[in-house]
Amino acid sequence: MKIGITCYPTVGGSGIIATELGKLLAESGHEIHFITSSLPFRLNRVYPSIYYHEVDVNHYPVFQYPPYDLALATKMAEVIDREELDVLHVHYAMPHAICAILARDIADRDVKIVTTLHGTDITVLGIDDTFKKMIKYGIERSDAVTAVSYSLAEETRDQLGVEEDITVIHNFVNEQEYYKKDLESLKQQYGIQPGEKVIIHISNFRKVKRVEDVVHTFHKINQQVNAKLLLVGDGPEYSCVSNLVSKLDLKDKVLFLGKQKNISDLLSISDLKVLMSEKESFGLVLLEAMNCEVPCIGTNIGGIPEVIQHDKTGYIVDLGDIDQAANYAIYLLKDEDLLRTFSKNALAFAQSSFHSSMIVKQYVNLYDEMLQTE
């Protein structure tokens, strides 16, 4: 098949999924055309059957705002015709599905449009009446729609009144990259003492991630377990979080690592992952952790309970319940046997339910079904 892929190419779960999917599809013999505003950050080497078509937005002085969406639709239409695409798979309804629909109208040949919903377009934009109708239109005019969790599919139906089928295809990780490595020396380089436990949080520090809850949870854990907290990522809440760390006198215990590329190395030196988000359609970082044998504590929100098996691979707590999160963490971190069991369970669950080979097959089956129905 010849498959076009559009996503936000910068750091973020949806961009990672779109790019890794393209790479795996190319490995299994399909021809992939990325149509994006910049080179997807995970395309870090040459792949013979992957092509990249850059969307360039002209900054004519007459336009008050650069027309990115129209430039994208034009580029999509050009690629559909020139490369004879069978499928155009877009990640995010807003604006990518809308652009794809416009491109299909402009192009001379037909193409099947698959839209994958990742969360923010539904859980944030879907609440905004300005965009609601537009997002619904994008979903209804796609040939197939997928969501990364049952929770997101249900929320889409509830919020937008969409009646079309939404196929749930969970996220996956690149197992070649996410596995537990022996990196004791890295621990020493970070000043982590032997016997000290490592708790990790990775996010883009948006408000919805509630990183302050992570710090409060850690504060309680640290009163009973000798531990360090690794905070990975950067974003709007960074300075609030940093102030809180100082206020709680945790500066020696919390390491702010900023944006990092080799996340699996950091996960490999971690004992527990904490994600206290108030919105999370899936929580790809949890799956990354599980593949590196790290149990997780997460909130009872969105897709998180589909990823964490409570009392087996980690624990689920109510939103904002830092006491419960800390109690579970202390209980787990104090019991080496239980911690080892949870680590093994986490890896086993990731492999049995979210393995990339299974997930990619689900996308290919969907493309096949769509191409067979006229």
Q: Is 207 in the site for ligand GMT (CB under 6 A)?
A: no
Largest Cα separation within the chain, whole Å, is 67
Rounded Cα distance between 27 and 225, Å, is 45
The DSSP string of 230-251 is EEE---TTHHHHHHHHHHTT-T
Rounded Cα distance between 161 and 359, Å, is 27
**HEC profile for 78-119?**
HHHHHCCCCEEEEECHHHHHHHHHHHHHHCCCCCEEEEEECC
Taking the C-alpha atoms of 58, 94, 164 and 307 in order, what is their torsion angle to the nearest 10 degrees?
130
Q: Is 36 in the site for ligand GMT (CB under 6 A)?
A: no
- Residue span binding ligand GMT (CB under 6 A) among the ranges 18-26, 200-208, 322-330, 361-369: 200-208
Min CB(353)–ligand GMT separation in Å: 15
Q: Which of 36, 115, 151, 171 binds ligand GMT (CB under 6 A)?
A: 171
Min CB(113)–ligand GMT separation in Å: 19
Min CB(107)–ligand GMT separation in Å: 27
User: Which is closer to ligand GMT, CB of 19 or CB of 171?
Assistant: 171
User: Which is closer to ligand GMT, CB of 12 or CB of 67?
Assistant: 12
Min CB(297)–ligand GMT separation in Å: 16
User: Which is closer to ligand GMT, CB of 282 or CB of 315?
Assistant: 282
Kind of pairing between the strands at 2-6 and 31-36: parallel
Cβ neighbors of 13 (< 8 A, separation 6 or more) are: 118, 171, 282, 284, 285
Cβ neighbors of 160 (< 8 A, separation 6 or more) are: 122, 126, 132, 135, 136, 139
Rounded Cα distance between 144 and 136, Å, is 13
Q: Which of 159, 174, 204, 362 binds ligand GMT (CB under 6 A)?
A: 204
How many CB atoms lie under 10 A from the CB of residue 326? 23
Q: Which of 17, 21, 50, 76 binds ligand GMT (CB under 6 A)?
A: 17
User: Which is closer to ligand GMT, CB of 104 or CB of 209?
Assistant: 209
Min CB(280)–ligand GMT separation in Å: 4
Beta strands in 128-226 (DSSP E): 144-147, 167-168, 197-202
Query: Which residue(s) pair with 12 in the sheet?
Result: none
Size of the site for ligand GMT (CB under 6 A): 19
DSSP structural state of residue 192: P
| Residue bearing tokens 């787990």 | 332
User: Which is closer to ligand GMT, CB of 192 or CB of 316?
Assistant: 316
Binding mask 266-305 for ligand GMT (x = CB under 6 A): -------------xxxxxx---------------------
User: Which is closer to ligand GMT, CB of 148 or CB of 267?
Assistant: 148
Q: Which of 43, 73, 79, 148 binds ligand GMT (CB under 6 A)?
A: 148
Q: Report the site for ligand GMT in 109-138 (rule: CB under 6 A).
A: 118-120, 123
Tokens of 196: 């000290």
Q: Is 320 in the site for ligand GMT (CB under 6 A)?
A: no
Min CB(159)–ligand GMT separation in Å: 13
Min CB(7)–ligand GMT separation in Å: 9
User: Which is closer to ligand GMT, CB of 170 or CB of 228?
Assistant: 170
Q: Is 345 in the site for ligand GMT (CB under 6 A)?
A: no
The full length of the chain comes to 374
Q: Is 359 in the site for ligand GMT (CB under 6 A)?
A: no
User: Which is closer to ligand GMT, CB of 93 or CB of 330?
Assistant: 93
Query: Which residue(s) pair with 197 in the sheet?
Result: 227
Query: Across the chain, how many H-helices and E-strands are there?
Result: 15, 13
Site residues for ligand GMT per CB under 6 A: 12-14, 17, 118-120, 123, 148, 171, 204, 206, 208, 279-284
